[in-house]
Structure 1
Amino acid sequence: MNMIPTAERSIELVDLTIAFGSGTRRRQVVDGVSFTLAHGESYGLIGESGCGKSTILRALAGLNHDYHGHILFNNREQQPQRDKAFYRQVQMVFQDPYASLHPRKMVWASLREPLKLHGLDRHEARISEVLHAVGLSDAFRYRYPHQLSGGQRQRVAIARALILEPSVLLLDEPTSALDVSVQAEILNLLSNMRRQRGLTYLMVTHDLAVVTHLCSRIGIMHHGKLLEELSADNVRQGLTQENYTREFLAASEA
């Protein structure tokens, strides 16, 4: 039963189902998944590789058009082909910051691109503001991705997502490609950005420490199904209803 009042809902998935292939090669990747995020909430999806969590994120982001079920944003159902207004409000941060940044574009060019696409003004000021917001100086605008460390690249990727002033960030394993020493910095940055800007987060990861640090509510995925939802405290304490969840948490902590 959905306990979040309608007026407070930011994202809602209803019976989302996704399959790849056809005939005997058809494989169900997401199987009737439903959940809701409130405005300003941080929600995590965890599970083994191949359980469907990243596929859900891509469908929500409009990168996968072939799905069944319903995806709602601010209580309005979204079509598989999203419009520009949706992308102004919903942005994605990818797993590999080096792959998501154009290798031949300086930072300023990568940040200006979404501003031009959406017809926003004050390009130079917005670029400076968002770089400072993610802890980078103006000097970084003149660097190429290969001149940045992994943490700096991910800060630029976060800046690019934030420059349109969205209300939702979709986070696809945002720290898994980073050194352990840098992961905490990026998680703290994301946590501060959510608090300061009232952002809603949907994150997918396999890392329990990451998901419990950033998310207050966590969904457990297994073979394309959402088995159960837990609070971050329940995840830390291993308080579950499903045997699979108990085994997954135990194996993740081993």
Structure 2
Amino acid sequence: MSDQNFVNVTGMTISFGTGSKRRQVVRDVSFQIPKGGAYGLIGESGCGKSTILRALAGLNTDFSGTFQFDGETVGNKRGKPFFSRVQMVFQDPYASLHPRKLVQDVLTEPLKVHGFDNIHQRIDDVLRAVGLGPQFRFRYPHELSGGQRQRIAIARALIIEPTLMLLDEPTSALDVSVQAEILNLLKTLREERGLTYLMVSHDLAVIAHICERAGIMQHGRVLEEMTADDIRAGRATADYTRTFLQASLDAIPSQE
């Protein structure tokens, strides 16, 4: 297949509720991600960006439109082969880790589900890959800092060797000083492992740091697509996007 179509979302529409209370939260959204690329969805809370991510992850199967992944159309229901290649990292690393499970157990579970061998070696390797180490195997989430918990959450997603990572505001629950460390880790992992990323965030600086292109969302629609350079330079065509960019530009560092 052409790597220009590794991820291809066309006309995605998502509604919640029934009858007179049914409302559209995502409206006719389309975007593509090349293999090894990173694409961002930016917008204020409630614009529908995380809803799209959950639909692609298989957490919400009630959507219309087409989702093609690696040349194949993905149905609303997913099997184990899909989940072995597509993993998600959630916003809150404490809520996404079982509080009474050791790190070793958190990382062992997906390996067993997907039939991997050499479990202990894989755990040690992935802990090193996320900047921790084997000594973290026997800790509980409450014994870790926020940044360490998010590194474990990333390790859990990585350990079954996916090709597509869905990143739901992966740094927004962290201190500013830790955010940069996690973003640089994600950037390094993508380069080393040839991963493809879809990231959602309300933070333009985060998206501009990780993604080559981004869709600006409002009220469930993508208003326009921009490159990371466009974002940094404030080049926008839609009025809403210009206002959104102007409010955030001071936080976006120039690319070195």
Give the TM-score normalised by structure 2: 0.96
2:195 pairs with 1:208 = no
Give the Cα separation in 2 of the matches to 1:154 and 1:243: 35
Provide structure 1 residue ranges, at least 5 long, that are not aligned to the other structure: none
Query: C-alpha offsets along residues 101-128 of structure 1, whole Å, 9 cap, x if unaligned?
Result: 0000000000000000001100000000
Which amino acid counterpart does residue 121 of structure 1 have in structure 2? D
Question: Alignment partner of 2:173: what SS?
Answer: coil
Which among 19, 40, 49 is matched to residue 36 of structure 2?
A: 40
Aligned to 1:124: 120
Question: Alignment partner of 1:70: what SS?
Answer: strand
More displaced stretch, 119-128 vs 16-25: 16-25
Fraction of identical pairs, as percent = 62
2:24 pairs with 1:24 = no
Give the Cα separation in 2 of the matches to 1:173 and 1:144: 23
Query: C-alpha offsets along residues 54-95 of structure 1, whole Å, 9 cap, x if unaligned?
Result: 000000000001011111111111111111111111000000
RMSD: 1.0
Give the Cα separation in 2 of the matches to 1:8 and 1:222: 26
Aligned to 2:254: none
Give the Cα separation in 2 of the matches to 1:127 and 1:65: 31
Deviation at 1:250, TM superposition (A): 1.4
Give the Cα separation in 2 of the matches to 1:48 and 1:26: 22
Deviation at 1:241, TM superposition (A): 1.1
Deviation at 1:223, TM superposition (A): 0.6
Matches within 5 A, 1:1-254: 6-253=2-249
Deviation at 1:244, TM superposition (A): 0.9
Query: C-alpha offsets along residues 186-241 of structure 1, whole Å, 9 cap, x if unaligned?
Result: 00000000000010000000001111011110110111111111000100111011
Aligned to 2:253: none
Which amino acid counterpart does residue 24 of structure 1 have in structure 2? S
Provide structure 2 residue ranges, at least 5 long, that are not aligned to the other structure: 251-256
Give the TM-score normalised by structure 1: 0.96
Give the Cα separation in 1 of the matches to 2:145 and 2:137: 14
